[in-house]
Amino acid sequence: MNTDFLPLSRAEMDAYGWDRPDFVYVTGDAYVDHPSFGVAIISRVLEAEGFRVAILSQPDYKSCDAFREYGRPRLGFLVTAGNIDSMVAHYTASKKRRSYDYYSPGGKMGLRPDRACIVYCNRIREAYGDVPIILGGLEASLRRLAHYDYWDNKVRRSVLIDSRADILTYGMGENILRRIAALLDKGVPIKKIRDVRGTVYAAAKGDNVHYDVAESWDYDDIKTDKRRYAEVFGVQYRNTDSISGKALIEYYDNKQLVQNPPMPPLERDELDAVYALPYTRRYHPSYESVGGVPAITEVEMSITHNRGCFGGCNFCALAFHQGRTVRSRSIESVVTEAKKITESPNFKGYIHDIGGPTANFRYSACKKQLKSGVCVDRKCLAPKPCPNLIADHSEYIELLKQVERLPKVKKVFIRSGIRFDYVLADKNEAFFKKLVHDHVSGQLKVAPEHCSAHVLNCMGKPAVESFEAFKKRYFELTKSFGKEQYLVPYLMSSHPGSRLEDAVELALYLKKWGYAPEQVQDFYPTPGTASTVMYYTGIDPLTMKNVYCVRDHEEKQMQRALLQSSRPENAVLVRRALKKCGREDLIGYGEGCLVKPERGGQNVGNRPKRDDRRDTGKKRGNGKDTVKKRKTTPKPSRGRKRNG
């Protein structure tokens, strides 16, 4: 047995000489002891506090027997679905079952249940009755209050209610779990722990609440009243900051669900301490025989240097989980981790990423955020950068330089995504030049997402002119350095606000640009985002204005097909979409057309001569602006689906 890992079985626990663990940590992921995995961080943090933590990874959930592996823990069970929501892990945006799971041994599907938080907690209750259960992780965090569930197409109750856990932790959990563990260790009953920030608990209706309350509402009202649901989400969004946020109350019959204000983010010295813990940085050796855990490949040679994001994209759940204030590790801490990476037998000389939710953020957007919290009524970067924004990459540049100087390091890449508008906001081009010259692995990921002004506004993204300015300068710098490098643009179809006409506008924009994307992302309504509320209610919860939302399956297919209009298999859908929009002028052989007419069709005004009848557009995958393929299966990340 490799005793560097925490126990993964009763036999391993016995080898440690433990009679029982203080906590059993149940997870829907395979056990990977790397700081990109929440289970690794929390278990190591508790270990550093003197607690014994045993890992129960992907237990057989069809009965409660597997949950008795270690016996009854001294203090309680910790439960998480894993690094991503179990429903997102299992289903695509079109609700089709996925065939591969990055977080399971060998990529095997089916090793965790749908709605893992609920299933695991109920199995623990079957096994041990009133044992304390603390629920956490991304799935719990984003489902902590009543939420629209895309897969059920209804507003579900808080996962705390359905799981029958005792307390739920949301956001980044290190200090939350330290506090809860210390109280339990002192003998405080779990039902009495009601004052810890970053937690949600259920109590009798009318019980005193420890913190000031921003607002309260009844689940029975918001589960059917869409406008009220949108209003309530807006209240939640405006109370996600640890400085300005207040408590919230949600009523269920004779119970009240109380969300305490957020726990403050870890400061630099605290983050450094977390990342200095003795992670093995590997998956448990028991997985070796089945090919290991695919998720480690994406992060093994990568470093997370920051947390939080003030970008504020409406389709991103980061505001509800890590928050909109940014904190970062010291340069010394990052360099120390980089040294550990260079000592790995798998290291080939390349640090794959020094990034995070957004790679080029190191500090809060402005000084005001440190005293008063984030603004509740505006975003830092969209539609234009706030006048108070401090755009400064100097420390990030120094961090990159120090890692580059390490022996064995050949190259340091930035792959987790950047905010291009923040790059432009920095009047000093030093970072932009260094990025293009030193840190692009052939292609740079950016996320313009769309080109339509009102769609970008619904997304909380900057105007397309900002991206155009970045793209122009990027290729100017690339050329000046004598390099051949590309942009990989992330594009989204069917986002709330997007009509067929907007998809046509984006198709024309891409054609003019010379891009022919191999894949695009369909909008995926997931808990905890403003865009999901728009999809369900047809209302922007941050402005309470009506928003057009496409729910018709055929129109979704047409919007997606328009973004890949040069593909022959999409021709029927593209023609149908153009006819529906009254844009039949785009069906033909002319240079400005998006699709050829169907055989025998009438749109032949620009038909070339018979011996020269071929596609006049640029060939897919050719030229300077080539777009590389993007997989849509959820992959490991450091807190965010998309950046830029």
The yes-or-no verdict on residue 635 having pLDDT over 90 is no
Tens of pLDDT, residue by residue over 480-523, are 999 999 998 999 999 999 999 999 999 999 999 998 898 889 99
pLDDT at 626 exceeding the cut of 50? no
Q: Token digits for 375?
A: 């603004």
pLDDT of residue 3: 54
| Mean pLDDT on 248-253 | 97
Q: Which helix (H) or strand (E) element contains residue 350?
A: strand 350-351
* pLDDT score recorded for residue 636: 56
Within the chain, all domains assigned CATH 3.80.30.20 are found at 301-566
Mean pLDDT value across residues 302-329: 95
pLDDT digits (tens, 9 = 90+) for 549-600: 999 999 999 999 999 999 999 999 999 999 999 999 999 999 999 999 998 5
Q: Quick check: 545 pLDDT over 50?
A: yes
What is the predicted pLDDT for the residue at 631? 43
Summarize the confidence of residues 595-610 as an average pLDDT. 62
CB atoms within 10 A of CB 629: 10
What's the predicted TM-score (pTM) here? 0.92
Q: How many residues does the chain have?
A: 644
With pLDDT > 90 as the criterion, what percentage of the chain qualifies?
90
Q: From the CB of residue 137, how many other CB atoms can be counted at a distance below 10 Å?
A: 29
**Residue 443: in which H helix or E strand, if any?**
strand 443-449
More confident residue, 631 or 187: 187
What pLDDT shows up at residue 613?
38
Nearest to 331 by CA among 359, 361, 358, 305: 305
Burial class (CB in 10 A: 0-12, 13-18, 19+), 508: middle
Distance CA 308, CA 363 (A): 10
pLDDT at site 417: 85
Q: Does residue 619 carry a pLDDT above 80?
A: no
Using pLDDT thresholds of 50, 70 and 90, give the confidence band for residue 616.
very low
Q: Residue 599: its pLDDT value, please?
A: 81
CATH top-level class of 10-201: alpha beta
pLDDT, position 634: 57
Domain with CATH 3.40.50.280 in the chain: 10-201
- For 236-275, the three-class secondary structure string (H helix, E strand, C coil) is HHCCCCCCCCCEEEEEECCEEEEECCCCCCCCHHHHHHHH
pLDDT value of residue 600: 59
C-alpha span between 7 and 56 (Å, rounded): 9
Identify the pLDDT of residue 324.
Answer: 94
The reported pLDDT for the residue numbered 130 is: 94
Using CA atoms, how far apart are residues 51 and 177, in angstroms rounded to an integer?
11
pLDDT of residue 2: 41
Q: Residue 622 pLDDT > 70, yes or no?
A: no
What pLDDT, in 10s, does the model give residues 57-106? 999 999 999 999 999 999 999 999 999 999 999 999 999 999 999 999 99
What local confidence, expressed as pLDDT, does residue 488 receive? Answer: 87
Which is it for strands 154-156 and 147-149: parallel, antiparallel or unpaired? antiparallel
Spatial distance between the Cα atoms of 603 and 588, rounded to a whole number of angstroms? 5
Reading phi first (left if > 0) and then psi (alpha if -120 to 50, else beta), residue 215 is in beta
The yes-or-no verdict on residue 286 having pLDDT over 80 is: yes
Classified as helix, coil or strand, 353 is strand
Whether the predicted pLDDT of 625 surpasses 60: no
Cite the beta strand spans of 17-162 per DSSP E.
23-27, 32-33, 53-57, 76-80, 133-135, 147-149, 154-156
pLDDT confidence of residue 627 = 42
Domain 301-566 has CATH 3.80.30.20: yes
Please report, for residues 18, 19, 48, 164, the alpha-carbon distance to residue 14 in angstroms, rounded to integers and kept in the order given.
Answer: 6, 7, 20, 30
C-alpha–C-alpha distance, residues 616 and 589, integer Å = 8
DSSP strand pairing (147-149 vs 32-33): unpaired
What gap in Å lies between CA 140 and CA 117, rounded to an integer? 7
Average pLDDT over every residue of 116-133:
97
**What is the mean predicted confidence (pLDDT) over 359-368?**
96
Mean of per-residue pLDDT scores for the chain: 92
